[in-house]
Chain A
């Protein structure tokens, strides 16, 4: 039969247990607060870039309207859209992968997708006016867990963008609740068999590796100059 505790030190002092609990909870609270603070700062940064791109789009649209008085070279030289869209897309994808405020991230994604569509349309208009033939790839993916090959497709397109900066790649979350995006999906008749690629206007479904994309775009190897791209998962 055990003896009763005789060591006064051994006696449970609930105050110590409580203080330790409060301090531990405070440490956890600090971690949660610090994480939320940095998430908010990142979201602000993304929002600020988005706003900046928005202004750039307006500027490009204005330039485009003034095309009659400007040369095509002038527009191409001043177009900063694509170079900013690519890192922005990467940042958004990172924010999404980190969790955080999903409603806020979805809102930023909607805005980003809208900017991509605007850039895409302007790109087509500039191409028509200035008689240039850019290589444009639209990539439709899903983060809803229903696209096993989207990760691989994302890797291929990211590598493609690094290797051929002239290729313009626009990535879209197929399930994003955005009217303009759903209209684009409807116009281009993009099926829900993801991943789906639209390469120079033609729809391809299922995973396409580097060789397959090279086969679709035989002139790819000849491209080299710098323009921006954007790929997601």
Chain B
């Protein structure tokens, strides 16, 4: 059978798989959650509040560590039950001095030689007896009610970890506006994954854990510079329960240029691929439920799907360009007269599927907004448009680099260090 006769079926099949995944996630979420405004409701806290340690690992973050600590000190939580542990991981700038300004009864500042984020977290883990331990990257700030909302999720004694709703802190550049929509979609995805027990990333910004469970699991590992992903997988491997509280809002700084975004995403994707390989026994394994059967396999398949569709679109555009060049060369005319006849509107099956997929993404963005705290609910036309138009073309850049690097195990650069 010729390749050209297989391609339409392959295209349809991959569209079906992608659409199926989106539909599945939406159904799974709606089965567990109401989209009614829960943000106004006071969280129901446990009768005995747990003590909490929030670790702020820092490496050369003199300008952002201050606001991060201040936002933690402003958390609506009993002061005697909350300690902030700032760990300076061998910064070469004035991060340590900036952190020391806040040192006191509620803020401890530790300093060590540079060893990576996981080592900073493990140092804090070894020095706290708090019931819960969390991390807040030094480029992020939290909403005042974020901790009590997170702690409310620990009322269930079986819950081992809770992830937050992550938002972009004051998007300014176009690339940050694009990420704003992406993060909104991630709020939906994170909630849906938690609802099917398939969370495999416990993000650096404000994921909170039961301290003894992290200790028993062996603490944080380097894990190809994605310790938050590896710990999520390890906890899942041990049968731990990870929940999500989307209304616990965290605001993080994001890359402001395409170059910086690609670098960050190469690291994330590289980490996903290498950790997925390390935990390959979970992929397709029914013992891990929806995580093994759906979330992990689709995470890998989606990389191939992106490559396939981008190749298809690129081929289509190249063909159109070649046709146009032929037209120009044989007619000595640059453009044919445009037609506005509705007869010529594309109504092929594939175009309708693309329209439906786009509509579904808009629905998921809406759900992401409904799961956001009130100030973040506003529809952002700019970010959404940029996301729909350009995100698909940016993704293959970092996916391509990450796949190549993961294949050859080259490692990725992060904070000036090559991480393998």
Q: Measuring CB to CB, which residues of chain A are less than 8 angstroms from any residue of chain B?
A: 2-12, 16-17, 19-21, 23-24, 27-28, 30-32, 34-35, 38-39, 42, 45, 87, 91, 94, 98-99, 151-152, 155-156, 158-159, 162, 209-210
Contacts and interface: CB of A to CB of B under 8 A. Distances in A.
10 contacts: A2-B285, A2-B288, A3-B237, A7-B239, A27-B23, A35-B352, A39-B347, A94-B343, A158-B336, A162-B336
Contacts of A158: 331, 336
Given A6-B241, A9-B195, A35-B347, A151 B289 contact: no
B331 A31 contact: no
Contacts of A3: 237-239
A159 B346 CA distance: 23
B27 A28 contact: no
B276 interface: no
A94 B241 CA distance: 56
B197 A151 contact: no
B63 interface: no
B326 interface: yes
B196 interface: yes
Nearest to B279: A2
A100 to B, nearest CB: 8
Contacts of A24: 16, 19-20, 23
Nearest to A35: B349
Determine the main DSSP class of A at the interface with B: helix
Given A5-B239, A16-B27, A31 B293 contact: no
Contact of B288 (A5, A17, A31): A5
A160 B326 CA distance: 15
B290 interface: yes
Interface string B186-202: 00000000111110000
Interface string B355-390: 010000000000000000000000000000000000
Nearest to B354: A31
B287 interface: yes
Given A6-B239, A35-B349, A91-B343, A19 B289 contact: no
Interface in B102-153: none
B330 interface: yes
Contact of A23 (B27, B241, B288): B27
Given A2-B237, A16-B27, A24-B16, A10 B356 contact: no
B287 A156 contact: no
A162 B337 contact: yes
B337 to A, nearest CB: 6
Interface residues of B, number: 52
Contacts of B31: 16
Interface of B: 12, 16, 19-20, 23-24, 27-28, 31-32, 158, 194-198, 237-242, 281-282, 285-291, 293, 323, 326-327, 330-333, 336-337, 341, 343-344, 346-349, 351-353, 356
B353 A31 contact: yes
Contacts of A11: 197, 289-290
Contact of B352 (A4, A10, A31, A151): A31
Contacts, number: 126
B289 A209 contact: no
A4 B288 CA distance: 7
Nearest to A5: B289
A156 B290 CA distance: 58
B289 A155 contact: no
A17 B32 contact: no
B291 A159 contact: no
B197 A155 contact: no
A212 to B, nearest CB: 11
A120 to B, nearest CB: 25
Contacts of A98: 346-348
Contacts of A7: 158, 197, 239-242, 289
A210 B331 contact: yes
Contacts of A10: 196-198, 288-291
A20 B27 contact: yes
Given A2-B287, A10-B196, A12-B286, A152 B23 contact: no
Nearest to A37: B347
A64 B195 CA distance: 78
A9 B379 CA distance: 31
Choose among A7, A28, A210 the residue with the greatest number of B CB atoms under 10 Å from its CB: A7
Given A10-B197, A10-B289, A151-B326, 6 more contacts: A4-B287, A9-B241, A12-B286, A17-B24, A24-B23, A42-B343
Given A31-B352, A158-B336, A2 B282 contact: yes
A175 to B, nearest CB: 20
Contacts of B348: 35, 98-99
Contacts of A42: 343
B107 to A, nearest CB: 35
A2 B330 contact: no
B352 A34 contact: yes
A6 B158 contact: yes
A11 B291 CA distance: 9
Contacts of A2: 237-239, 281-282, 285, 287-288
A8 to B, nearest CB: 7
Nearest to A39: B347
